Amino acid sequence: MITKEKPLISERRKFFTNMAHNTGLGVMGGLLWAGFADKAKSSPLTLRPPGALDEEDFLRVCIKCGLCAEACVNRPSNINKETGKPRPSTLQMAKAKDEVTIGTPFFKPLDTPCYMCEDIPCTVVCPTGALDLASVTNLIGELDFKMMKMGIAVVEPNACIAFWGIQCDACYRACPLMNEAITLQYDRNERTGKHAFLKPVINMNVCTGCGLCEQACVTEKPAIFIRPREIALGKPGDHYVKGWDSKDQERVANQSGKDVTTKTERSEQGASDYLNEGVDFD
């Protein structure tokens, strides 16, 4: 009897061993997938194609079909005149290695900026509205690349050589909306008394976030770079309202009712107590 039970005990042991092994693999796989899924979430600095909805809505509506990226690489203006072949596509479809939701379109201006095609092919082909065609269509029903709002250029004064007094207008000249999205501010160089600063200034109402300026920047690490508008421009609280902007006043409806005040030593004074300090009216 003992001899006959040994194979049965062995089979049971093997069964439980395999079950424990598979359970361990399952748990490990779950942990790995959780880490992978977390990494696969889009970075808040992700730049989307023209007309993209707000990130939450975009991810809900985008079906990851890749038609926008295909239209981008196959656009007629993307053909290299020397080789006759398409250049690298501006839009990429996110892979596991990217810090972007897998399968969704994005672009990196430093690698390949948006060339602001007049026919905006990537937005036109979107089948779901994740890329909103109305947002890049003007009042007379025409596509208008100036209405793109992919992001906004940000200048780092400490890194930009134009703020050092070295003449540079690379970003200004690279901008497809030259003298509109980027202008040059002339300031006197007090250090030398002879030269002028040509400081790039971004017009947030015109800049589309195409990234041509970032790619053109001459510094080793670009001193001008593209950031999503909500990151670069921030968002004021409901208790701060532009009285001259009727649309901005709509935000007051969301006000919590809580008074927010900032008290400092200066705020206790009247305006006339400090605004005219050091001014001699005689």
* pLDDT of res. 182: 97
Contact 182, 203 (CB under 8 A): yes
Domains and CATH numbers, the chain: 35-148 (no CATH), 151-234 (3.30.70.3270)
153-to-45, 100, 109 alpha-carbon distances in Å: 13, 21, 11
Task: Tell me the pairing of strands 224-227 and 152-155.
Answer: antiparallel
* pLDDT of res. 179: 94
Contact 64, 93 (CB under 8 A): yes
* pLDDT of res. 254: 62
* pLDDT of res. 33: 45
* pLDDT of res. 7: 61
* pLDDT of res. 8: 57
* pLDDT of res. 102: 92
| pLDDT averaged over 10-residue windows placed end to end, the chain, 282 residues | 56 64 57 50 89 95 95 84 82 92 95 93 96 96 95 96 92 96 89 80 96 96 95 78 76 62 70 66 55
